[in-house]
Amino acid sequence: MPSLEEELFPSTPGKFKGDRGHNMNRQVYRCFASTSTMFLWALFLIALTASYLSFQGFVDSGSRYLSASWGGINWEKQLRSSAQIQRQGGFSVLVTGAAGFVGSHVSIALKRRGDGVVGLDNFNDYYDPSLKRARKSLLETHGVFIVEGDVNDAKLLAKLFDVVAFTHVMHLAAQAGVRYAMVNPHSYVHSNIAGLVTLLEACKNADPQPSIVWASSSSVYGLNDKVPFSEADQTDQPASLYAATKKAGEEITHSYNHIYGLSVTGLRFFTVYGPWGRPDMAYFSFTRNILQGKPITVYRGKNRVDLARDFTYIDDIVKGCLGSLDTSGKSTGSGGKKRGPAPYRIFNLGNTSPVTVPTLVSILERHLKVKAKRNIVDMPGNGDVPFTHANISSARREFGYKPTTDLQTGLKKFVKWYLSYYGYNHGKPVNY
């Protein structure tokens, strides 16, 4: 049987074996070999520990590596204070993705009207995290505390529900973006599927169970060509992994509604834009490039048909989110047991007036007073759909949803914010 040393350092035939004239060398070699063996073992153990820890961090959502920045008496005090309800019949809402575009706007609107709000956000770097930090600072001035953590962290979620009896969860944390799904598919599964299930588990176990309102997407209509898109239409032709994960979310939430009596409302947002928006979206990156004199790429559909989107202004979306929360109805279960049927709803939140992408560019040019360098190319097959158009009669009927901002007006407000935020107005304050 070869020794471990021999296995790790097998003798090279003819070099050391039986080479009596090289005893000294052999001793040196043995000494070196045993030191090396120890070194290799140490390396092996370190690698094993590291891979175990990273595996734990990934799989065990309760791992301290996901939850390092939370806990303690002071932290709990901040939670309770932020969740404090300031109006009769008000809510205490956990807003996931609170440092995101829609999340920050919804959090402020809820707080303004006297609801308690606790934010949760992992501040990932999908786009410039400094913008998320700036939104966080803004929320702090409104008395909203954001917990830094991930929706995949089951221990953190359990702790949050332990400290605050949330009446509602506004779940907006997600991996957004249609085309990025081809670059990083797993981040969509991680956030939009695994994270959603972890959150639903926490909600199901909570006592009382909260009502859940969450962000689905217009992209679930995929390649449908019947317009306008209505909630009753089939949604089984997703054109991107992003869309597929949002569609999966609708099915997953349905099962939790069915089994555990969770009240669930899914909101299909239609290309939301506005101040404090997402830099990865076209209107935002076009603005940046136009101001910097760089070309923009404008996709064009089949047969040279312009692409169109039902662009929806953030303030209209916020009204839709609040209306959904107000009419969500209660979850019926407690401690993981269903006690009766609970509402399950899905609503389109769009603007009902699609605008083509070239028109969007023309509006930006007017507001920015700079001509764009347009580079028109055929739409690459990377997840885009040719157009979106919402039928919003369900949301109108249920909670009076009525968008009031057209693209021209909304982009004017966005541009004003953009110029101010990025210092184009030389520090002058701006109202948008």
Ligand X SMILES: O=C(O)[C@H]1O[C@H](OP(=O)(O)OP(=O)(O)OC[C@H]2O[C@@H](n3ccc(=O)[nH]c3=O)[C@H](O)[C@@H]2O)[C@H](O)[C@@H](O)[C@H]1O
Q: In angstroms, give the least distance from the CB of 183 to ligand X.
A: 14
Q: In angstroms, give the least distance from the CB of 364 to ligand X.
A: 12
Residue 80 tokens read as: 């309770």
- Count the Cβ atoms, other than its own, within 10 Å of residue 423: 8
Q: What is the dihedral sign for C-alpha 279, 417, 384, 266?
A: positive
Q: What is the DSSP letter of 192?
A: I
Q: In angstroms, give the least distance from the CB of 117 to ligand X.
A: 22
Residues 68 and 153 sit within 8 Å (Cβ to Cβ):
no
Q: In angstroms, give the least distance from the CB of 307 to ligand X.
A: 4
Q: How far is CA 375 from the centre of its chain?
A: 30
Name 41's Cβ contacts closer than 8 Å, sequence gap at least 6: none
Per the listing, tokens 């999966």 go with: 248
Element (H, E) at 82: helix 73-83
**What is the C-alpha to C-alpha distance for residues 321 and 208, in angstroms, rounded to an integer?**
22
Q: What is the dihedral sign for C-alpha 351, 193, 92, 279?
A: negative
- In a 3-state reduction of DSSP, which class is residue 69? coil
Q: Catalytic residue at 65?
A: no
Q: In angstroms, give the least distance from the CB of 402 to ligand X.
A: 19
Q: How far is CA 212 from the centre of its chain?
A: 16
| Per-position b or e across 113-149, b if 16+ CB within 10 A of its CB | eebbbbbbbbeeebbeeebbeebbebbeeeebbbbbb
The residue (of 155 and 247) whose beta carbon lies closer to ligand X is 247
Q: Which among 127, 180, 221, 242 is annotated as catalytic?
A: 242
Instruction: List residues binding ligand X (CB under 6 A).
Output: 176-178, 217-219, 269-271, 281-282, 297-299, 307, 309, 357, 384
**What is the C-alpha to C-alpha distance for residues 322 and 299, in angstroms, rounded to an integer?**
34
Q: In angstroms, give the least distance from the CB of 306 to ligand X.
A: 9
Return the axis-axis angle of helices 154-163 and 73-83, rounded to nearest 10°: 60
The residue (of 262 and 267) whose beta carbon lies closer to ligand X is 267
Residue 380 tokens read as: 């690459």
Q: In angstroms, give the least distance from the CB of 343 to ligand X.
A: 23
Residue 410 tokens read as: 């909304």
Q: How many helices (H) and strands (E) does the chain have?
A: 14, 13
CB closest to ligand X, residue no = 217
Active site residues: 242
